[in-house]
Amino acid sequence: MAPQRTPEGPPPPPAVQKLRIRYAKRGRLRFSSTRDFSRALERALRRAGVPMAFSAGFHPHPLISYANAAPTGTASEAEYFEVRVTERVDPAAVREALDEALPEGLDIVDVVEAGPGALADRLEASDWHLVVRGADPDEVRAAVAAYLATDRAETTRTFKNGPRTFDTREAVLRMQVSGVDEAGCAILRMVVRHTTPSVRPDDILTALRAVTGFAAPVPPLVTRLAQGPLLEADDGVADPLATDREAAGPGR
């Protein structure tokens, strides 16, 4: 039996702090994939001088984890990742340096020191904002009312294991036309519970067409405004980093 190989040199320094970071994808950068962002982020972390912790082994990699990224092509004001560091750092200083190092359109919104609990467990729902272009707002309102009146609205999406049909209606907690923009386009707001499989805005629009016959003339502009703990009282979405700020104490 061949002897087990071990990496040469000392083990990597241990992580002493974990940061939770909220960032936004805006403008043309909404078309960046999670892989595109991860490459840009690792370069930016190095330029910003953030003392990243690395895994052990023959192929060490930065200890970065991503949580529930928005689909490619979707803008977002509420994307999250975590990074472990080998020296204690000031979250505010990291926010400023990292935001400066990233390209415009990938913008750091907030950095906090991670408190107890898993971030992924707090991301229970998302608040979506859709600009429905080229459609009469009254037609959109009628379609929304018909969708909400149904008990089940299915869609089919292709996954790694092939196509799968699933319900979208149960995940939609709130859906309404909240107004129109300066161009007269309907603004559609949706609060959607995170489920398995995930129900995305395009899934809901496909199901909306199947149930009501309504289809937007052109693809809507979709932005995730928030994701976090579900506020059961009004089907809203809370800040998932609030618990970390409370754990850090005043002034953090």
| DSSP SS3 for 111 | strand
Helix axes 91-101, 34-47, angle to 10 degrees: 110
Q: Who contacts 233 (Cβ-Cβ below 8 Å, separation ≥6)?
A: none
**Which pLDDT belongs to residue 2?**
56
Position 24: which residue type? A
β-strand 75-85 against 221-228: which pairing, if any? parallel
Q: Where in the chain is the domain with CATH 3.30.70.580?
A: 17-121+242-248
**Which pLDDT belongs to residue 126?**
98
- CATH code of 125-228, in short, is 3.30.70
pLDDT tens digits along 89-128: 999 999 999 999 999 999 999 999 999 999 999 999 999 9
3-state helix/strand/coil string of the chain: CCCCCCCCCCCCCCCCEEEEEEEEECHHHHHCCHHHHHHHHHHHHHHCCCCECECCCCCCCECEEEECCCCCCCEEEEEEEEEEECCCCCHHHHHHHHHHHCCCCEEEEEEEECCCCCHHHHCCEEEEEEEECCCCHHHHHHHHHHHHHCCCCEEEEEECCEEEEEECHHHEEEEEEEEECCCCCEEEEEEEECCCCCCCHHHHHHHHHHHHCCCCCCCCEEEEEEEECEECCCCEECCCCHHHHHHHCCCC
pLDDT tens digits along 128-173: 999 999 999 999 999 999 999 999 999 999 998 999 999 999 999 9
**Hey, what CATH class is 17-121+242-248 in?**
alpha beta
pTM score of the predicted model: 0.92
pLDDT tens digits along 56-72: 887 889 999 999 999 99
Chain centroid to Cα 96, Å, comes to: 21
Quote the strand ranges of 9-98, DSSP E: 17-25, 64-67, 75-85
Please state the length of the chain: 252
Chain centroid to Cα 249, Å, comes to: 26
